[in-house]
């Protein structure tokens, strides 16, 4: 009986660890998809990773809903020349919730003014219908420039 309990316990621990590793990779993947979508203005990719009820607090402290994020991305005077993930510093899972923290760099042109923007971010994801989606996102600019309008 003790051996059976031990085998069941080890099997459960293995399955939990394997499942969590898969979820961690999925969270990293959607975080990268979010960053990669900006230069292409790829709102179709963002629709897949953003929940409909997503809230974003941008680097200026403004809270935006999904539709408002898309409107800003598509502004003709706003272009993201490049975007890259500098690092993912933490990925944690709490049941059906996940938190990803990292840093990224955007090169953006806004009204003809080009800026290199280094950000720190925290993404909160929820597993819905067996898929991870972003439900909250907070971005902090690491190199504030007072003359750089957001």
Residue 5 reports pLDDT greater than 70: no
Render pLDDT for 40-50 as a digit per residue (tens, 0 to 9): 999 999 999 99
Q: How far is CA 132 from CA 62, 76, 90, 107, 141, in A?
A: 25, 31, 17, 27, 25
Residue 132 DSSP class = E
pTM for the whole structure? 0.81
| Mean of pLDDT values over 10-26 | 65
Query: For residues 34 and 56, what is the distance between their CA atoms, to the nearest angstrom?
Result: 12
Q: How far is CA 114 from CA 9, 83, 106, 111, 120, in A?
A: 56, 13, 10, 8, 20
Residue 142 DSSP class = S
- Contacts of range 25-28, beta carbons closer than 8 Å, 24 or more positions apart: 26/132, 27/91, 27/93, 27/98, 27/100, 27/123, 27/125, 27/132, 28/88, 28/91, 28/100
Query: For residues 7 and 59, what is the distance between their CA atoms, to the nearest angstrom?
Result: 50
Does residue 133 contact residue 126 with C-beta atoms inside 8 Å?
Answer: yes
Does residue 23 contact residue 133 with C-beta atoms inside 8 Å?
Answer: no
Q: If you count them, how many residues does the chain have?
A: 150
Please give the pLDDT value at position 1: 58
Render pLDDT for 69-105 as a digit per residue (tens, 0 to 9): 999 999 999 999 999 999 999 999 999 999 999 999 9
Rounded to 10 degrees, the C-alpha dihedral 53/45/33/51 comes to 10
Q: Does domain 2-141 have CATH number 3.10.450.50?
A: yes
Please give the pLDDT value at position 20: 84
| Mean of pLDDT values over 4-19 | 46
């Amino acid at each position: 009986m003790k051996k059976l309990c031990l085998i069941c316990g080890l099997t459960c621990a293995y399955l939990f660890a394997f499942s969590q590793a898969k979820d961690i990779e999925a969270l990293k993947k959607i975080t990268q998809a979010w960053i990669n979508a900006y230069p292409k203005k790829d709102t179709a990719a963002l629709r897949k990773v953003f929940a409909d009820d997503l809230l974003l607090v941008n680097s200026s402290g403004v809270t935006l809903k999904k539709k408002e994020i898309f409107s800003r991305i598509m502004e003709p005077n706003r272009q993201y020349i490049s975007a890259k993930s500098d690092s993912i510093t933490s990925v944690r899972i709490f049941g059906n919730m996940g938190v990803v923290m990292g840093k990224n760099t955007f090169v953006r042109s806004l009204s003809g003014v080009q800026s290199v923007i280094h950000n720190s971010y925290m993404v909160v994801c929820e597993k819905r219908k067996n898929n991870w989606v972003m439900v909250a996102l907070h971005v902090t600019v690491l190199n504030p420039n007072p003359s750089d309008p957001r």
